[in-house]
Structure 1
Amino acid sequence: MLATGMGAASAGDERREGAGSLAELPIEQLLTLDVYSASRFAQKLSEAPSAVSVVTAEDIKAFGWRTLADILASMRGLYINNDRNYTYLGARGFQRPGDYNSRFLLLIDGNRSNEAIYDQASIGTEALLDVDLIERVEFVAGPGSSVYGANAFFGVINVVTRSARAMPGAQAVVALGSNGSRTARASYGWRDENGAELLISATDFRTNGEDLRFAEFASAGNPGGLVRGLDADRYQSVLLKTSAGPFSLRLAHVERTKSVPTASFVQDFNDPRSRTVDAQTLVDAGYRHAVSGDTDVSVRLFGGAYDYNGDYVYDGSVQRDGSRARWQGAEARIMTTRFDRHKLVAGVEWQDDVRRRQFNYDASASHLDIDNPGSRKGIYLQDEVTLREDLLLNAGVRHDRLSATGGTTNPRLGLIWKASPATTLKALYGTAYRAPNAYELYYQILLEGGQKANPALRPERVRSWEFVAERHLATDTRLTASVFRNQVSNLISQVQDPADGLLVFRNLDSVTAQGVELEVERASQQGDRLRASFSLQQVRDEATGAAPTNAPRRLAKLNWTRPLFGDAWRAGVEARYAGPRRTLGGELGGAWQANLTLAAMKLMRGLELTASAYNLFDRRIAEPAGPEFVQDALPQPGRQLRLKLVYAF
């Protein structure tokens, strides 16, 4: 029987859930995990038409990661920054501050989670899931529009949630940390003898945040530009996941409130009323059925909601900026191996954005109140052809039609040669697109320093070429090398129109990125696990010949974990380096940081203890700021400590 959709995720979960700890997992399994995200069916890492990175629940525990952003920051070729409001992701030297991660497609259990106003992929404290509920994260580098459509531009992130089988019974979590941070979680997992499952979990997180200094706002009354108590953050999230036979249902919800200390968008400085509130809900119901021994079908219905409220303070008065989105849709997919040497996947998707309202008002007037519904439809076909026993051809194409920008077709080709039992070579080509979102198309405030709409925007496009080599040394070490070239056209940028002084989004830029990525991963019989990577990349604006902002030429990562005192404790050491990069007003030097986690896996029956230090050496790190800030660079968190207790009843 084949497995598609949620079935593919579940099959991998069962193998991992049988092992109680990282050290107990077979070495071969650690280095040859099946992945789902590259082709929408489970396949070996070596057969995927991409260089795929995988992080497991064991890694999340060993390194004490707190958010999806922490997880992604550990992966080859990726880097993050935070503007003290949202967290942003960059890949292969490309990350525009303030783009809300709309050039990445974020999946939860294989299903789209980008919301319908900004196409935001939420990865910080605004994300839908507590990381304790994640079984694994897969990142598929490169264009993925041939199977996923919009936003799969620079990569696809698939977050696979844990099952009740992995978290049986009741579990309680309490964590305390620096800056008054505290977390509480309660979870319950149930499974009957027939395989029906239920997992429900709720999390509450709060922190007072850091006291910050911004020299740009220094004054006679505040010579250091000091901000106290205005970096607070809190969220509440819920996950409900159930399945019975061929049916599945999942509901996820999060509400996050963040105080904004940076005076972004030329606000009054040091005003405690400046804040943003984001709430997102996703629900989907699925059905999968094996029509025969070689053919599976799956059907999914889904819906979502996103609410945003931002309070911005000008001349002592609060201006409310907000949006409301509601969407619904359906997907049908068939997978078959009926034809000799072929593995075929075909599907159709439809999403109706029934509400995309944006508004802005203050005490005196309404400046914006618009609603621009939209829709997208897609059809795709992918074929994995076994040309020879050692040679695979992966070919796919997808056509999408969007209500605002019309149709687009995107192919992908991958030739995968198993040159020897230990060596795999991949030659890859693909295209992808990112459609302009509702904010870029329609947002308009015709006041001094305001913004005007541009409904004539066209989709961004990328063409990508990549060569990947993977080599296994014995059974405990894997080497990966990748050479890539991306050509981006129609890049959407916000500029000031000299005719009226208003900001407007336009298709202006073309960018070329090329580089090399190297990674070594080792998992020993003694329970050690090492992953180290290095990226060298060059990004160039075709019009100016210069590198764009926030495009580091070098990235380096190290993650190492090993058991201590037998198998009772585990240590996790993480180090990351990002090279120099341009800002809007100058340049930042390279920066590195280290994190350390010690975990007592068997403190007593049912009890685990984790102690973590983030930015262990308290390095002063800053990241490039976007055009909405007076500051050219924004400080990142200093040293933070956290103590976490997990008790399973």
Structure 2
Amino acid sequence: MKLIRLVGLVSSVLIGQMPSVIYAAEVFSAAESPVSKDDDALFQDIPSVYDASKYDQKVTKAPPGSTSVVTADEIKKWGYRTFGDVLNSLKGFYNTNDRNYGYAGARGFGLPSDYNSRLLLMIDGHRINNNIFDSFDTSEGFPVDLNVIDRIEVIRGPSSSLYGTNAFFGVINIITKRGRDQQGANVNASYGSNNAYKTNVSYGDRFKNGLETFISGTFYNSDGFKNLYYNEFDSPTTNNGWSVGNDAEQSRKLIAKAAFGDFSIEGVFSKRYKDIPTASFGTVFNSHELRTADETTFVEFKYDHTFENQLNLKSKLSYNHIRYAGIYPANYGTPDLPNVVLNQDMANGEWWRADLEANKVIFEDHRISMGGQFQDNFHQNQTNYDLETYLDVKAKTYQWGIFLQDDYEITKSLSLNAGVRYDYFSTYGDTLNPRAGLTYKPWESSAIKLLYGTAFRAPNQFELNYTSSNIRHSQDLKPERLQTLELILEHNFTSQLRAEFNLFKTDINDIILSKSVGDGFTQYQNAANVDSHGVEVQLENNWLNGWQGRISYSWQQTKDKATHQVLNNSPEHMVKFNLIAPLWADKVFLGFETQYMSGRRTRDDGDILHSHNIDDHVVSNLTVFTQKWIKGLELSGGVYNLFDQRYLDPTSAAFKQDGIPQDSLTFRVKASLDF
């Protein structure tokens, strides 16, 4: 009943367009909101996406897959604090957190603590998934601050035919601001619950000689929740279940970029420290020494030129570095050993990467894209030790791939997108992945897409080589493989009202999981095959007077083929509603969102595939944003988990807890000044 009432309420709001309230808004906004009567205006505000086909396309020009674009303006008005907040608002995506890292789930697949290796993340087209864990963090460990983002492009579905490994369930490209977007300096600061404060300083401009620069630095610090209770540790020997003062966090981020003509350079650095209150991996509970540190660095040189014959050529060369260090206090319970032993867990990865891509329209109705990449992983080092050394691996590997794609406009209303990519990995060999999409546009405002695609995820160095006091070395790991068939229906009812319907069927084979092998040991194995199918529906409206709304519903079932059990952390139902309401012309806005998620299974006795359910939940967030009262000044205040919903996120075998309690009601205030 909770789900039905929520769907009914938000649907009536969006479709009915709240006539009485909108009338009041129009009184304030009439001077700023002229209505275009030109039919050509139907698609004028629809954003472009690049990562769907490796060249710019309007969303309505039917790039392969279901697409979403989140703008800097939406990030501000909905008060998003982390990349995980953004993902939680998008159709089919969900974010979980174990109070150390944030994890993204997509279309019902989000095994706890999988380190996001089944989504490809890029920053300005640069691959972020690293060469040891294939990972990225959706919380404060995300490499760039949300203040420097111009827009976020999300493409759902397999994209290995263009991008190779990790493009399993989708591709996310973070487009950061350029000098022309900033045109001067900006200082912004925020303060919130748990003594959380952030400062960001940016400068950017485009000069008369054509040089364009942008630089931004961010510092964040939070004390975290002072007291966190875990029932599983409710014993006098473990402080009666209370973890006190073990949730602090700190991060530093820097991005710098410059462009002149066809040449550009970009560098990103981020470092994050996080205390861990959960006693994960069997560590000592309520220890002030349990923490992780993560560092990401890359520098990339780019050349992008379009010749007179309209051949576009892009080349990139980058240096990349990641570093991870974890301190895990352990008590081995042996009389002749110290009460607490500090286990040191470290990883250090470095790699060079070169990319070359070209695309050109030939014969008027074919756009050919082709290219290749080479990656030299010259440092893939992992270490784990305390009283003895369990792991000391210094690996070197390489990988390369080539792709070819044709966008063929068969008629004005029918087009075919077909591509294939070949990849070779020195660790296991080669793989070939095709993708094809047929798009029919019966009207300019509608599109019907039928898509077939395959994808793979190569076993990473952590899965291949990691060993410890309770983890055995893996044997003969194979890549994970995926096949998807998807039907997408899109229709623009008006220049503001757009609907999308998705029906998908996905088969996933050879999923790599940590499995028990007896004697208290686990091992990474190709341990499961999964069937996933579902439906997604979305309706969004952008009114001319500044109102903006979106509602989506997702239904999916993701099951183990052998047991027919639903996977862990796989919600069957998700409903999401987002609204931006102009309270005073274009000066004051209310941003509201609410998200429903059905119950999910969580791990049981170390089995991360099958176990029991945790409850469903509804979380709502509210933000008031104001601008243009004083030139260059923006102010906002947000309340998160508005109704103080108490809920859990599922856990992996690394935890004693069945679920990790998520944040209760929190707040944040923020000020931003351009000058």
TM range (shorter): over 0.9
Alignment of 1:226-375 (within 5 A): 226-315=242-331, 316-362=340-386, 364-375=387-398
Q: Does 1:396 align with 2:419?
A: yes
Contact 2:246 2:277 (C-alpha < 8 Å) held by counterparts: yes
- 583-592 or 509-518, which moves further after superposition? 583-592
Alignment of 1:112-123 (within 5 A): 112-123=127-138
The equivalent residue for 1:209 is 224
Contact 2:471 2:523 (C-alpha < 8 Å) held by counterparts: yes
Contact 1:114 1:122 (C-alpha < 8 Å) held by counterparts: no
Which one of 80, 92, 98 corresponds to residue 65 of structure 1? 80
The equivalent residue for 2:557 is 538
Deviation at 1:366, TM superposition (A): 2.3
User: Residue deviations 1:370-407, cap 9 Å, x none?
Assistant: 11111110000000001001011000000000111100
The equivalent residue for 1:453 is 473
Q: Does 1:610 align with 2:671?
A: no
Q: Does 1:158 align with 2:182?
A: no
Contact 2:540 2:551 (C-alpha < 8 Å) held by counterparts: yes
Deviation at 1:410, TM superposition (A): 0.3
Deviation at 1:32, TM superposition (A): 2.1
User: Residue deviations 1:264-305, cap 9 Å, x none?
Assistant: 000000000000000010110000111223211111101100
Q: Distance in 2 between matches of 1:630 and 1:603?
A: 52
Contact 1:143 1:432 (C-alpha < 8 Å) held by counterparts: yes
Q: Does 1:136 align with 2:151?
A: yes
The equivalent residue for 2:507 is 487
Q: Distance in 2 between matches of 1:592 and 1:610?
A: 24
Deviation at 1:484, TM superposition (A): 0.2
The equivalent residue for 1:381 is 404
- Opposite residue 67 of structure 2, the aligned amino acid is V
Secondary structure of 1:490's counterpart equals strand
Q: Does 1:218 align with 2:237?
A: no
Q: Distance in 1 between matches of 2:475 and 2:122?
A: 28
Q: Distance in 2 between matches of 1:95 and 1:550?
A: 6
Contact 1:23 1:528 (C-alpha < 8 Å) held by counterparts: no
Q: Distance in 2 between matches of 1:479 and 1:224?
A: 52
Q: Does 1:462 align with 2:478?
A: no
Contact 1:399 1:410 (C-alpha < 8 Å) held by counterparts: yes
- Opposite residue 278 of structure 1, the aligned amino acid is D
Contact 2:48 2:59 (C-alpha < 8 Å) held by counterparts: yes
Deviation at 1:221, TM superposition (A): 5.6
- Opposite residue 471 of structure 1, the aligned amino acid is H
Q: Does 1:428 align with 2:451?
A: yes
TM-score by length of 1: 0.94
Q: Distance in 2 between matches of 1:71 and 1:191?
A: 29
Deviation at 1:225, TM superposition (A): 0.8
Contact 2:115 2:133 (C-alpha < 8 Å) held by counterparts: yes
Contact 2:238 2:286 (C-alpha < 8 Å) held by counterparts: no
Contact 2:157 2:168 (C-alpha < 8 Å) held by counterparts: yes
User: Residue deviations 1:293-341, cap 9 Å, x none?
Assistant: 3211111101100000000001212111000000101011111013321
Q: Distance in 1 between matches of 2:33 and 2:135?
A: 37
Q: Distance in 2 between matches of 1:389 and 1:578?
A: 41
- Opposite residue 382 of structure 2, the aligned amino acid is Q
The equivalent residue for 1:496 is 516
Q: Distance in 2 between matches of 1:105 and 1:123?
A: 13
Q: Does 1:599 align with 2:625?
A: yes
TM-score by length of 2: 0.91
Contact 1:386 1:393 (C-alpha < 8 Å) held by counterparts: yes
In structure 2, relative to structure 1, the CA distance for the partners of 1:536 and 1:239 (3 Å cut) is same
Q: Distance in 2 between matches of 1:25 and 1:555?
A: 35
In structure 2, relative to structure 1, the CA distance for the partners of 1:213 and 1:599 (3 Å cut) is same
Alignment of 1:13-28 (within 5 A): 28=42
Q: Distance in 1 between matches of 2:357 and 2:33?
A: 37
The equivalent residue for 2:596 is 577
Secondary structure of 1:235's counterpart equals strand
The equivalent residue for 1:519 is 538
Q: Distance in 2 between matches of 1:266 and 1:29?
A: 55
Contact 1:603 1:609 (C-alpha < 8 Å) held by counterparts: no
Deviation at 1:122, TM superposition (A): 2.5
Which one of 89, 93, 102 corresponds to residue 108 of structure 2? 93
Q: Distance in 1 between matches of 2:46 and 2:578?
A: 18
Contact 2:615 2:647 (C-alpha < 8 Å) held by counterparts: no
Deviation at 1:457, TM superposition (A): 0.2
In structure 2, relative to structure 1, the CA distance for the partners of 1:455 and 1:357 (3 Å cut) is farther
Which one of 180, 188, 194 corresponds to residue 173 of structure 1? 188
Secondary structure of 2:353's counterpart equals strand
The equivalent residue for 2:608 is none
- Opposite residue 529 of structure 1, the aligned amino acid is Q
Q: Does 1:41 align with 2:55?
A: yes
Secondary structure of 1:72's counterpart equals helix
- Opposite residue 39 of structure 1, the aligned amino acid is S
User: Residue deviations 1:539-580, cap 9 Å, x none?
Assistant: 111010110111110011111002121111111001111111
- Opposite residue 478 of structure 1, the aligned amino acid is R
In structure 2, relative to structure 1, the CA distance for the partners of 1:522 and 1:311 (3 Å cut) is same
Q: Distance in 2 between matches of 1:340 and 1:609?
A: 50
- Opposite residue 345 of structure 1, the aligned amino acid is S
Contact 1:307 1:325 (C-alpha < 8 Å) held by counterparts: yes
Secondary structure of 1:604's counterpart equals coil
In structure 2, relative to structure 1, the CA distance for the partners of 1:339 and 1:310 (3 Å cut) is same
Q: Does 1:635 align with 2:649?
A: no
Deviation at 1:31, TM superposition (A): 5.5
Contact 1:142 1:155 (C-alpha < 8 Å) held by counterparts: yes
Deviation at 1:29, TM superposition (A): 5.4
Q: Distance in 1 between matches of 2:353 and 2:616?
A: 45
Deviation at 1:213, TM superposition (A): 0.2
Q: Distance in 2 between matches of 1:563 and 1:394?
A: 40
Contact 2:42 2:494 (C-alpha < 8 Å) held by counterparts: no
Q: Distance in 2 between matches of 1:297 and 1:384?
A: 17
Deviation at 1:190, TM superposition (A): 2.1
Which one of 607, 615, 626 corresponds to residue 589 of structure 1? 615
- Opposite residue 311 of structure 2, the aligned amino acid is T
Q: Distance in 2 between matches of 1:369 and 1:492?
A: 22
In structure 2, relative to structure 1, the CA distance for the partners of 1:227 and 1:25 (3 Å cut) is farther
Secondary structure of 1:516's counterpart equals strand
Secondary structure of 1:372's counterpart equals strand
Secondary structure of 1:248's counterpart equals strand
The sequence identity of aligned pairs, in percent, is: 36
In structure 2, relative to structure 1, the CA distance for the partners of 1:519 and 1:335 (3 Å cut) is same
Contact 2:78 2:622 (C-alpha < 8 Å) held by counterparts: yes
User: Residue deviations 1:340-376, cap 9 Å, x none?
Assistant: 21001000100111000000122x3322111111111
The equivalent residue for 1:17 is none
Q: Distance in 2 between matches of 1:190 and 1:292?
A: 28
Q: Distance in 2 between matches of 1:168 and 1:84?
A: 38
Q: Does 1:32 align with 2:58?
A: no
Contact 2:299 2:320 (C-alpha < 8 Å) held by counterparts: yes
- 147-156 or 217-226, which moves further after superposition? 217-226
- Opposite residue 520 of structure 1, the aligned amino acid is L
Q: Distance in 2 between matches of 1:159 and 1:563?
A: 27
In structure 2, relative to structure 1, the CA distance for the partners of 1:86 and 1:25 (3 Å cut) is farther
- 194-203 or 151-160, which moves further after superposition? 194-203
Q: Distance in 2 between matches of 1:393 and 1:195?
A: 38
User: Residue deviations 1:108-140, cap 9 Å, x none?
Assistant: 111211111100033211111000111111111
Contact 1:172 1:186 (C-alpha < 8 Å) held by counterparts: yes
Unaligned runs of 5+ in 1: 1-21
Q: Distance in 2 between matches of 1:31 and 1:553?
A: 33
